[in-house]
Structure 1
């Protein structure tokens, strides 16, 4: 708690200093509130997908379900050389079968009849369907704001302060994912997936976006955007603010993957 209070002080000083000097004070950044918990959908009939990380800790003693941990281990062991890992889609029918196996057996350890792309797609879907994204609804704006307003030489310490404010189970899960993605990026000469490419694949799933009902608008097609008719967003295309924030979220995640050990 002492570390968190000090982190709040540092984060507030940095964000208010640089954010208020940009955009003529129009940034509505404020210290995130941690008292009220975010309501999540009912997940009582699920074991893995769409289940809060805290519930996993209470049930299994670990934030990430065993099947997701073993999926990451499987990919690290067998697939780091696969071209377009996380970018190339898997086969929908096999992914659905794999998801069902995980739901029925959260400690699933085998991935027979699946390709690396099937397993990678399932992992990406797991993070996309978390009730509260890894950067959390409360702190996503802060992470984005760091890359919109804070100078480059101060970003690492600002990110460290923000990350200290994440719930323990979320911070541990983020560390696990970033370390794994760093290993993938280290083999980018073979798999063509460097930090920037991986961030493009994962950022829409890890950051909460204000556009649309949740974080879906960032990856929605023009047809979907037209159907949703989000107030203030031009039909069929994002506005400048959204594009800048999407770019900042990608830059943030790419930086965190590259600097995970220092972070």
Structure 2
């Protein structure tokens, strides 16, 4: 797969992809789904879904740094170089999510998501959480949908890849949902609730994000 990354940096040459706000990146690149999210998932789906420990096993630091630089600099490159190591691609995606200035589930909705988990009745909890998801800004909603739909596909292969919804949420929970001015790892209880939010999104992805059957097919 050859991906032309130049148009993105030509429009916004001084701003790397990593660490750039989602809104700014999408506006400057004219994309609906963030470059790193879309391209990494295109590589990982479907052949990488059976890779054991995907997103959990650390990638090689040097090649991960190279892939990150490729996205940041913006050059026409043959991405098949990275098809031999799915952990590098997964690492690049996870790093992108982690380095967003604001988490995809947003700071403003953090308290609402946490409150949803305190609702004891399952049906009411899901309904309240649906209402919260629906408040996401459209760019965030579309990118969260794209990512969660993929993670749900990954979870379907958990007997092979060992990545259950719970295991996936441990990896992505603190990166997708965190409070403003948070101290990562300082509050075990809050981290567990954050993970539960992400696990719920994965388990009930068709409820929160209906459709998307052909979401990952390359045009």
Q: Is the 8 A contact 1:50 1:126 kept in 2?
A: yes
Q: Distance in 1 between matches of 2:92 and 2:112?
A: 28
Q: After alignment, is 72-81 or 194-203 more displaced?
A: 72-81
**Pick from 62, 65, 79: which aligns with 1:110?**
79
Q: Is the 8 A contact 1:148 1:248 kept in 2?
A: no
What residue is the counterpart of 2:28 in the other structure? 59
- Unaligned 5+ segments in structure 1 are 1-42, 219-237
- Unaligned 5+ segments in structure 2 are 1-11, 209-219
What residue is the counterpart of 1:189 in the other structure? 159
- Shift in alpha-carbon separation, 1:61–1:79, aligned structure 2, 3 A: same
- Shift in alpha-carbon separation, 1:107–1:151, aligned structure 2, 3 A: farther
What is the Cα deviation at residue 144 of structure 1?
1.4
Does 2:16 align with 1:47? yes
For the aligned residue pairs, the C-alpha RMSD in angstroms reads: 2.0
**Structure 1 stretches of 4+ moved >6 Å:** none
What is the Cα deviation at residue 68 of structure 1?
3.1
Specify the SS of the correspondent of 1:148. Answer: coil
Greater Rg over alpha carbons, structure: 1
TM-score normalised to the size of structure 1? 0.69
What residue is the counterpart of 2:101 in the other structure? 131
What residue is the counterpart of 1:217 in the other structure? 184
What residue is the counterpart of 2:52 in the other structure? 83
TM-score normalised to the size of structure 2? 0.82
What residue is the counterpart of 1:262 in the other structure? 207
What is the Cα deviation at residue 150 of structure 1?
4.8
Specify the SS of the correspondent of 2:20. Answer: coil
Does 2:39 align with 1:70? yes
Does 2:44 align with 1:99? no
What is the Cα deviation at residue 162 of structure 1?
0.5
Higher relative contact order (CA 8 A, sep 6+): 2
Specify the SS of the correspondent of 2:206. Answer: coil
Q: How many residues align?
A: 196
What is the Cα deviation at residue 164 of structure 1?
1.4
What residue is the counterpart of 1:151 in the other structure? 121
